[in-house]
Amino acid sequence: MPSSDALLAFFAASFVLFCIPGPAVAYIVNRSIADGRATAFASVAGLELGNFVHVVAAAAGLSAVLATSATAFTVVKWLGAAYLVGIGIRTLAHRPDDLSLAAPSIDRRRAFRQGVIVNTLNPKVALFFLSFLPQFIEPDRGPAWSQALVLGTVFTLLGCVMDGTWAALASTVRHLLVRGRAQAFVRRWVSGSLFVGLGVVAARATRRAV
C-alpha cells in the first residue's frame, strides 16, 4: 500500500494532468454535444474502464511489452488509429438525421463500448502508466504490483470526476447547437473531423511519447 504522502503527490500530479485537455476530452465533448448528457456519461464510463484496463496491465507488467516491443506497440497503435478514423469517415460520409434533445444519435451502450475501445487501444495511455506510476512506488511499502493497482485506481476514480465534469459542462450548452442551424454541421463535419484527428494523433504516437 502506498504511503499517504505518495498518494497525495500522485493525486496532485494526476489532477494537473487531467486539467490539460487531450484526446479523451475531445471525445467526451463530441459525444456531449452530439448526443446529450446521459450518452456523454456513458462514454466517460467506457473511457475510465479503458483506463483501468491499462491499470491492470501496468500492475501485471504488460505495459512494459508495449514500451519494449516495437511490433506490439505498432499493432496496438494502428488498431486504435484505424478504429477512430473509421468512425470519423463514416460520420463524414452520412448526412445526419434531424436531431432532437430527446433522441441521441447513438445509444448509451454503443457510447460506452466506443469509450472502452478508444482508451484501451490508446498506446499512449499504457506508456503514461508505465512511466508515471513507477515514480510513486516505494520499494519498502510492499509489492510493486499492489501499489500500482492502488495508484491506478485513484487515477481512474479521479478521471471519472474530471471527465464527468467535462461531460456535464459540454452537455449544458448542447441545446444552443441542437436548436440552431449549426447542429447538422457540428454533428457531421466537426464530429467526423474530430474522430479522424484523434486517429491521426494515435497514429503519430511513438514509444518515446508519454
Query: Residue 80's pLDDT is what?
Result: 63
Query: Residue 99's pLDDT is what?
Result: 47
Query: Residue 2's pLDDT is what?
Result: 78
Name the amino acid, one letter, at 120. T
**What total of structural domains would you count in the chain?**
1
Would you say residue 100 lies in a domain? yes
Query: Residue 210's pLDDT is what?
Result: 38
Query: Residue 101's pLDDT is what?
Result: 47
For residues 72 and 66, the answer to whether their CB atoms sit within 8 Å is yes
- Name the 3-class secondary structure at 103: strand
Would you say residue 47 lies in a domain? yes
Would you say residue 112 lies in a domain? yes
Query: Residue 157's pLDDT is what?
Result: 93
Query: Residue 185's pLDDT is what?
Result: 64
Would you say residue 6 lies in a domain? no
Query: Residue 160's pLDDT is what?
Result: 93
Would you say residue 56 lies in a domain? yes
Query: Residue 58's pLDDT is what?
Result: 78
Query: Residue 178's pLDDT is what?
Result: 57
Residue 207, C-beta contacts closer than 8 angstroms, at least 6 positions apart: 66, 67, 70, 73, 127
Residue 24, C-beta contacts closer than 8 angstroms, at least 6 positions apart: 47, 118, 119, 163
Residues of the chain with pLDDT under 50: 99-103, 208-210
Would you say residue 174 lies in a domain? yes
For residues 80 and 123, the answer to whether their CB atoms sit within 8 Å is yes
Query: Residue 42's pLDDT is what?
Result: 93
Query: Residue 179's pLDDT is what?
Result: 58
Would you say residue 138 lies in a domain? yes
CA gap 84, 44 in Å, rounded: 16
Name the CA dihedral angle for 110, 114, 117, 122, rounded to a multiple of 10 degrees: -170
What range defines the domain where residue 180 resides? Answer: 23-203
Would you say residue 208 lies in a domain? no
Query: Residue 130's pLDDT is what?
Result: 67
What is the CA 193 to chain-centroid distance, rounded? 17
